[in-house]
Structure 1
Amino acid sequence: MMKRSMLARHLIRFIGIGLFIYILTTIDFTAMVNASLSVTPITILGIAFLIIPTMVLKGARWQIISEGLGLRLKTTEATEALSIAQLANLATPGSLGDFIRVPYMTARGNPTDKSTLSIFIDAIISIVVPYSLGGLALLVLLEVDITILGLFGALLWFAGFILLYYFIKKTIWTWFFKARIDRLLSSGFRGSFLFTLPSVIKSVGKRNLLLSLGYSAVAWLTYTLQATVLAWSFGINVNWIFINVALALSTMATAIPISIQGLGIREGVFLFLFGLINIDPAIIVAFSLSLMLVNITPISLGLVSWARDPFDLTPEERPNESIGELR
């Protein structure tokens, strides 16, 4: 019999699905279908075409990070792995399917720990641009005055966070948490993983980090332009700043692993934001679903890649792998 904790873990994935079903019951379903059909196939194909450079840019970002860690990975392979990960994300909550990239890397002779680290660093780099731009755009949208005093206060909070980080690292972490996590983890990771991550990121190299940030910025720009054109196709008269805010906030919300492909969560965010400018809820949901469907088109490449060259999803751990080697 399935344990309650395991059952709860499975059920939590469907919170977003339940929210999506509820949203569908509150809107005019016929109006949503009509809004979707009002967008011409040529427009959809043109918007979907922008997925290609976006995926290649994301692949290049991960490849340059992997290169800095001494891993063997080509840009074409990185793009292929990202497509397979997107396929896996259809069956996993949040973006947990991204970790399928680990066995993809190990199947090509790369160590497990460094491969996993490359995914963590790639995830960090991928959120820097959207979260930063989204935050700034949100300040502009809400007409928040940016004053010297406000900036000084933000710097104080940041400095306090850094001090707290080092305090925990030198005290509580050393004598309480580290030993326990060292015993629990058997994948070659050390208990100090969280605190060695900054030094590992440095080992990637400034040039590689700057290049990966550049790739991430252009990929985000392509994505936001794609969404803006799609919004206009639905008759939603908004500018790029508004779309940027909507996408940034939805990206943050859908990162929480309580839904599949962000279904329900993304619609909830969009309904709130677009509702502020009096857009019909049926059109908002139609736009959200179209954006999701357009952006999961790379799963076709993932299917082809998996069918052509399936790899072991549970590779054997190598006992001599250690993050400590990267310090």
Structure 2
Amino acid sequence: MSDKTPTAKQKRDWLSVVLRSAVSTGILSFLFFKVDWTKITAVVERSNPIDILLGLFFGGVQIFFSAIRWKILLQTQEIFIPAVKAFELTLIGQFFNAFLLGSTGGDIIRIYYIVQLYPQKKAAGSLSVIYDRVIGLLGLILIGQLLALNFFKLFEANPITRHAVWLFLSISLFILLLFGLILFFPNIFYFEKRTKKKSNLLSKQDLNNLVDAISRYRHGKKENFLALCYSFASHASTLIMAYFATRSLHLDIPFLFLASILAIVSVLISIPVSISGLGVREGLIVVFFQLLGIKVEPALSFSLLVFAMSLFWSLIGGIVYLGYKKPKTDDTINR
């Protein structure tokens, strides 16, 4: 029986990868045959390199703000690392997010390194990465909800965008509800019977440490507020990066409308139906841009340019990873 279980799980994992790859490949193939690539080439050739450089700069600013946000959340758990170290590990996480299947590969890497630095605080260190992801998503959701309501009438003009916005709002409300339950009622996730049955996976002490770590975030009102502020700053930097991408391609798109689209799309591509959102992101951007009368080729050029800007910093993260020196477990990291 035990021999069959891993095999069945492996089959399900492979089936998931195949299905998600099929979705990404299908949408990208459809766009590939639909667009006129000579027009895309013409759009790229007219791009402004100064705006691209400014966009790249704000892409780096986004990673910096994300690193400071994580540093604050680590401090809440009495885990103190320098801002430079947080930035370094965030860059490495960015690299693995880009080149591993899914968008959580970088989170796993960050958990691995922070647990290496503080092995006595495995639960707190691991939760800090998960909570950092949640706070980042929370900031994006709040931005998206505010702007989506502002442009709701325009989004209703197309059935696809209308359904996309309603799906985004539904997911957002669910995440906000789940966030509230975990933060303010952590004990409802503690099950004594489950602990006894699966003691080899998660001990009672591990669960107590996890509940204690959650309680630290529940009572850390100042830290939560600061982390949320840095989340807004991080997303604002990403939106500014995207805005410079539109400027470089000479696309006339209002900033707030662009921000609403990107917030909605970013949340929707987190649904694991494709490989890292490939295809789904491009397809949604094309449809949303059509609301402003922007054709497929410029919209796809924009999506590819923003992806390339993000990929640039992922490659920087890869260089940092190659030069990263793993600290010894008994090393002390000063504030």
Q: Contact 2:274–2:280 (CA<8 Å) still a contact in 1? A: yes
- Stretches of structure 1 that go unaligned for 5 or more consecutive residues are 145-153, 317-327
Against the structure 1 CA distance between its residues 173 and 299, is the aligned structure 2 distance closer, same or farther, given a 3 Å change threshold? closer
Against the structure 1 CA distance between its residues 30 and 116, is the aligned structure 2 distance closer, same or farther, given a 3 Å change threshold? same
Match of 1:238 among 233, 247, 253: 253
Q: Distance in 1 between matches of 2:277 and 2:205?
A: 32
Q: Distance in 2 between matches of 1:99 and 1:180?
A: 26
Q: Does residue 108 of structure 1 match 2:117?
A: yes
Q: Does residue 229 of structure 1 match 2:229?
A: no
Q: Does residue 305 of structure 1 match 2:320?
A: yes
Deviation at 1:106, TM superposition (A): 2.2
Deviation at 1:235, TM superposition (A): 2.7
Q: Does residue 212 of structure 1 match 2:222?
A: no
Give the match's secondary structure for 2:272. Answer: coil
Against the structure 1 CA distance between its residues 174 and 241, is the aligned structure 2 distance closer, same or farther, given a 3 Å change threshold? same
Equivalent residues in 2 for 1:1-327 (5 A)? 3-14=10-21, 15-97=23-105, 98-110=107-119, 111-143=121-153, 174=191, 180=197, 184-185=201-202, 189-190=206-207, 199-203=215-219, 205-309=220-324, 311=326
Against the structure 1 CA distance between its residues 142 and 302, is the aligned structure 2 distance closer, same or farther, given a 3 Å change threshold? same
Deviation at 1:61, TM superposition (A): 0.4
Q: Distance in 2 between matches of 1:255 and 1:310?
A: 32
Against the structure 1 CA distance between its residues 171 and 213, is the aligned structure 2 distance closer, same or farther, given a 3 Å change threshold? closer
Q: Contact 2:285–2:299 (CA<8 Å) still a contact in 1? A: yes
Q: Distance in 1 between matches of 2:116 and 2:189?
A: 38
Q: Contact 2:40–2:301 (CA<8 Å) still a contact in 1? A: yes
Against the structure 1 CA distance between its residues 178 and 279, is the aligned structure 2 distance closer, same or farther, given a 3 Å change threshold? farther
Task: Give CA-to-partner distance per residue, 1:55-87, whole Å, 9 cap, x none.
Answer: 111110000100111113221111111111111
Deviation at 1:226, TM superposition (A): 2.0
Given residue 109 of structure 1, which amino acid in structure 2 is its aligned partner?
Y
Q: Distance in 1 between matches of 2:72 and 2:215?
A: 17
Given residue 280 of structure 1, which amino acid in structure 2 is its aligned partner?
K
Q: Contact 1:51–1:295 (CA<8 Å) still a contact in 2? A: yes
Deviation at 1:131, TM superposition (A): 0.9
Given residue 9 of structure 1, which amino acid in structure 2 is its aligned partner?
S
- Stretches of structure 2 that go unaligned for 5 or more consecutive residues are 1-6, 155-169, 330-335
Q: Distance in 1 between matches of 2:266 and 2:217?
A: 23
Deviation at 1:18, TM superposition (A): 3.5
Q: Distance in 2 between matches of 1:57 and 1:238?
A: 26
Q: Distance in 2 between matches of 1:309 and 1:34?
A: 40
Kindly tell me the number of residue pairs found equivalent between the two proteins: 297
2:160 alignment counterpart: none
Deviation at 1:9, TM superposition (A): 3.0
Give the match's secondary structure for 1:94. Answer: coil
Task: Give CA-to-partner distance per residue, 1:185-225, whole Å, 9 cap, x none.
Answer: 479743996x777524225x122111111111112122212
Give the match's secondary structure for 1:50. Answer: helix
Task: Give CA-to-partner distance per residue, 1:243-267, whole Å, 9 cap, x none.
Answer: 1111111111221234444221211
Q: Distance in 1 between matches of 2:146 and 2:58?
A: 25
Deviation at 1:170, TM superposition (A): 8.1
Give the match's secondary structure for 1:30. Answer: helix
Deviation at 1:101, TM superposition (A): 0.3
Q: Contact 1:178–1:191 (CA<8 Å) still a contact in 2? A: no
Give the match's secondary structure for 1:71. Answer: coil
TM-score (norm 2): 0.77
Instruction: Provide the alpha-carbon RMSD of the alignment.
Output: 3.4
Q: Percent identity?
A: 22
Which one is further off, 122-131 or 296-305?
Answer: 296-305
Deviation at 1:290, TM superposition (A): 0.3
Give the match's secondary structure for 1:237. Answer: coil
Deviation at 1:183, TM superposition (A): 5.5
TM-score (norm 1): 0.78
Against the structure 1 CA distance between its residues 188 and 36, is the aligned structure 2 distance closer, same or farther, given a 3 Å change threshold? farther
Against the structure 1 CA distance between its residues 252 and 273, is the aligned structure 2 distance closer, same or farther, given a 3 Å change threshold? same
Task: Give CA-to-partner distance per residue, 1:144-197, whole Å, 9 cap, x none.
Answer: 9xxxxxxxxx9xx99xx68x969x98889747766556554479743996x777
Q: Contact 2:124–2:213 (CA<8 Å) still a contact in 1? A: no
